[in-house]
């Protein structure tokens, strides 16, 4: 006897094929809409954003769904120190914090939680299992940014606190003579201002690119001189890395940088103490495009960002890379990224519009 029953998922897949619509990437799960569900609730249950669900399912009306409808839920992009975990029966945020040896503040911040209520089956970002690698002090690695934020309130940022639909584009490791000019061309074409965290060792012979950044209204900031892991350096070495790049930027622009993004987002408490005293604010990111990955093409870079973007997001991209690194996918993704963000009502602003910070030191 022929089984005539077809699951909602198989029906949905058939409709996708008949409509000629491409399926979402494999990194997704499916959810069948129940009576009373909203896109906002479904997004919260799965650790996604309403915008990413609407985009992933090509919903013309993001708020309109019907019971029985099958939605593809995009897997949230994760940072290097994160992984995804599915909440099990009878688990609470507290027990998950204990399970992964982290704290509630870390979980709330990384998962954009306004309350501690979680749901069975919900995706949560939790600390990635780290290898027994050690930092410069010989201790097992511990993600110390929450402690640094508590140590220096208002001097360490991962994202903006604004509820307005504003985001910041930031580019690390430039300048170079290939990708940075292309990125500047595109930003000029769309009338968008960004922040460039400069690697000092890349500046020689490319001073004109830095001059162009400033002339066209972008912010330039400090990303060290040689791009080392600051947690493996002494405080004196950290300060030397920063001041050497600061001197190069000042000779070109006449300005002393006040914004710092340490390589890999890593910093020691003592190093931060010295740099804050010297007038620096540390700015990391909340959305990693992962454009540094060799296996990521433009569509994956775009998906990484759009699945995580929220008001106040600081988006990490790169305008230069290591020897032989191809950032063509970054350049290709940028127009679609700007267009998608603006279509969703986001304003792309410099960091100084998103955060209560100054780009340059006073009196300069």
* Level-2 CATH architecture, domain 25-74: Roll (3.10)
Note whether 212 and 182 are within 8 A (CB): no
d(CA 267, CA 143): 10
Say yes or no: do domains 25-74 and 145-354 share a fold.
no
Angle at 50 between CA 100 and CA 129, to 5 degrees: 15
d(CA 330, CA 334): 6
The pLDDT tens digits for 341-362 are: 999 999 999 999 999 999 999 9
Class of domain 145-354: alpha beta
The pLDDT tens digits for 299-330 are: 999 998 998 899 999 999 999 988 788 999 99
Instruction: Please give the pLDDT value at position 205.
Output: 96
How many C-beta atoms lie closer than 10 Å to residue 26's C-beta? Answer: 6
Residues pairing with 318 in the sheet: 172
Instruction: Please give the pLDDT value at position 189.
Output: 98
Cα 40 to its chain centre, rounded Å, is 21
Instruction: Please give the pLDDT value at position 105.
Output: 80
**Which has the closest alpha carbon to 237: 225, 246, 253, 247?**
225
Q: Catalytic amino acids? A: 172, 318
Instruction: Please give the pLDDT value at position 222.
Output: 98
Residue ranges of the chain with per-residue pLDDT less than 70: 1-29, 44-47, 60-63, 129-140, 364
- Start-to-end CA span in the chain (Å): 83
Instruction: Please give the pLDDT value at position 81.
Output: 79
Which string of DSSP letters, residue by residue, matches 213-244?
A: HHHTT-EEEE--SS---GGGS-HHHHHHHHHH
Note whether 194 and 172 are within 8 A (CB): no
pTM over 0.85, yes/no: no
Identify the three-state secondary structure at position 170.
Answer: strand
Class of domain 82-127: alpha beta
List the chain domain ranges.
25-74, 82-127, 145-354
């Amino acid at each position: 006897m022929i089984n005539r029953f077809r699951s909602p998922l198989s029906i949905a897949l058939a409709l996708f094929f008949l409509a000629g619509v491409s399926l979402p990437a494999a990194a997704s799960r499916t959810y069948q809409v129940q009576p009373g569900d909203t896109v906002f609730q479904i997004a919260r249950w799965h650790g996604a954003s309403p915008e990413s669900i609407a985009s992933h399912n090509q919903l013309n009306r993001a708020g309109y769904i019907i019971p029985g409808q099958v939605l593809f839920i995009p897997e949230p992009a994760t940072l290097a120190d994160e992984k995804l975990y599915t909440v099990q029966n009878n688990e609470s945020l507290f027990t998950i914090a204990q399970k992964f040896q982290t704290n509630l503040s870390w979980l709330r911040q990384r998962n954009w939680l306004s309350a501690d209520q979680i749901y069975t089956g919900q995706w949560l970002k939790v600390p990635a299992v780290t290898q027994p690698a050690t930092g410069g002090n010989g201790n097992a690695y511990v993600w110390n940014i929450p402690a640094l934020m508590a140590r220096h309130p208002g001097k360490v940022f991962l994202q903006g606190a604004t509820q307005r639909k504003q985001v910041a584009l930031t580019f690390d490791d430039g300048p170079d003579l290939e990708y940075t000019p292309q990125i500047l061309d595109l930003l000029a074409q769309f009338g968008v201002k960004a922040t460039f965290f400069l690697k000092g060792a890349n500046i020689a012979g490319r001073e004109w690119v830095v001059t162009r950044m400033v002339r066209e209204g972008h912010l330039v900031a400090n990303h060290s001189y040689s791009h080392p892991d600051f947690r493996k350096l002494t405080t004196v070495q950290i300060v030397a890395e920063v001041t050497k790049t600061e001197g190069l930027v000042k000779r070109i622009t006449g300005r002393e940088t006040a914004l710092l993004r340490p390589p890999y987002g890593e910093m020691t408490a003592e190093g931060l103490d010295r740099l804050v005293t010297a007038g620096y604010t540390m700015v990391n990111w909340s959305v990693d495009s992962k454009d540094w990955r060799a296996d990521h093409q433009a569509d994956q870079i775009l998906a990484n960002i759009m699945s995580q973007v929220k008001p106040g997001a600081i988006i990490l991209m790169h305008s230069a890379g290591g020897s032989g690194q191809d950032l063509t996918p970054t350049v290709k993704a940028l127009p679609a990224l700007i267009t998608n963000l603006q279509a969703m009502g986001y304003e792309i602003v410099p960091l100084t519009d998103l955060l209560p910070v100054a780009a340059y030191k006073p009196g300069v």
